[in-house]
Amino acid sequence: MPIGNVQPSVRPAQAGRTDGAVARSSVRRGGARSRRTGGGVWSERLAPLVLVAPAVLIIVVLRLYPLLLGVNFSFTGDGARNGMAVGLDNYRELFEDPLFRTALGNVGLLVLLLPVAVAIPGLLATFIYLRVPGHRLYRGVYFFPAVLSPVIVGAIFNLLLAFDGPLNAVLGSVGVSPVDWLGDPDLAMFIVVGVHIWATFGMALVVFLAGFATLDSALLDAARVDGASLPQVIWHVIIPSLTRTIQFVFVTTMIGMLTSMFGLLFVMTSGGPEGSTYLPEYYIWIQQGQMNRPALASAASTVLFVIMLVVGLLQINLLRRAGKEA
């Protein structure tokens, strides 16, 4: 009975009437319940089950069942051993394959680069919020790459970063020798991640701006009056106020990095040079599509699924704890 609790404090004069209405409605409800005994209780209990059934069925039939089939398939062989149970052979082969280990290592690299991917939109959103000159223009410009498809983005950066491309030409004009951005195995992964961040930070920026909308400007003014510098304002006022937004962006950025780099990799590096930019997704695609090893690809998919599950659970845990703190 929430109405009874809120209203009186605001409008004490109507308190009595409100309470009366609540009392009457509860009486009516009690009466209805007494009339609907037996079958009524059953239908009331069944109703939620019937209502969730379509969703549950879709998840079970179209998600969980294929998932189980896939896991099951990963324990069978390829080629001549098609359909035969081979136990853990596929998994053994996976972890002996240096290429798959590189792919897993790159997942680790993505996790390490995550703070950068979150800090960039966070900082830029701060500047927009603090109304740097031209902030209206930047707000639009920053979001622009987010509407481009990864294939287009990849193609654009392929041109820009080509050995005889414009970036190296600019470097050359200031006396820096050209760099093979996408042909150097130590560099390529960072470049692709950088382009991915460039292409997707617009979304995170919007989320940050939404977070800023809830920020209490009185706190900022107070900090300014006290003579806080910009870094101090960011560190002591903005970051603590936006903890939940930051955590949300962390989660969504992580998911984005783990699941939607394929297009960029495909266009920009094809997993190369020297296999240095493989990610599990790309590995799965190569094994299934190019090497005709569907069972091995299933095993790799299962490993990727487990990784995503662990990362996802960790993040849910983190969010829940953050929720309690706030």
Partner 1 sequence: MVWDWKSGEASAAPYIDRAKADFAKKHPDVTVEFVAQPFDQYYTLLGAAIQSGKGPDVILFNGGGQIRDRVDALAPLDEYLAEDKQRLAGWDAFTKDGRIYAGPVTLQGHPIYYNKALYESAGLDPASPATTWSEFVADCAAIARAGAKCFALGNKEGVGIQFWLSSLASGVLTAQEYDDWIAGKRDWSSPNVKRVFQLWQEAGEAGLNNDGANSTAMFNDSFALFQSGKAAHVIGLMSDVGHWKDFNEFLTADKLGVMDAPVVTAGTTPSLPYDGGIGYGVARWTKDPKVAADLVRSLTSTDALKAFYAEAGAIAADTTIDVSQGGPAVATIVSEIKGGKPALHVALSSKTLDLMGRLSQQLLGGSVTVDEVVKQLAASDQAG
Cβ atoms of 213 and 207 closer than 8 Å: no
- By beta-carbon proximity to partner 1, the closer residue of 164 and 226 is 164
Cβ atoms of 67 and 59 closer than 8 Å: no
- By beta-carbon proximity to partner 1, the closer residue of 43 and 82 is 82
CA distance 55 to 181: 47
Q: How far is the CB of 112 from partner 1 (least distance, A)?
A: 23
Sign of CA dihedral 197, 199, 204, 206: positive
Q: How far is the CB of 273 from partner 1 (least distance, A)?
A: 4
Give every CB contact of residue 1 below 8 A, 6+ residues apart in sequence: 22, 26
CA distance 223 to 225: 5
- Site of interaction with partner 1 (CB under 8 A): 79-80, 82, 99, 158, 161-164, 178, 180-185, 188, 269-270, 272-275, 285-286, 288-292, 294
- By beta-carbon proximity to partner 1, the closer residue of 194 and 312 is 194
Q: How far is the CB of 88 from partner 1 (least distance, A)?
A: 18
- By beta-carbon proximity to partner 1, the closer residue of 214 and 292 is 292
* Closest by Cα among 180, 202, 172 to 269: 180
**Maximum CA extent, the chain:** 90
- By beta-carbon proximity to partner 1, the closer residue of 253 and 276 is 276
Give every CB contact of residue 19 below 8 A, 6+ residues apart in sequence: 4
Q: How far is the CB of 76 from partner 1 (least distance, A)?
A: 11
- By beta-carbon proximity to partner 1, the closer residue of 10 and 80 is 80
Q: How far is the CB of 60 from partner 1 (least distance, A)?
A: 22
Give every CB contact of residue 212 below 8 A, 6+ residues apart in sequence: 125, 126, 129, 242
Q: How far is the CB of 181 from partner 1 (least distance, A)?
A: 7
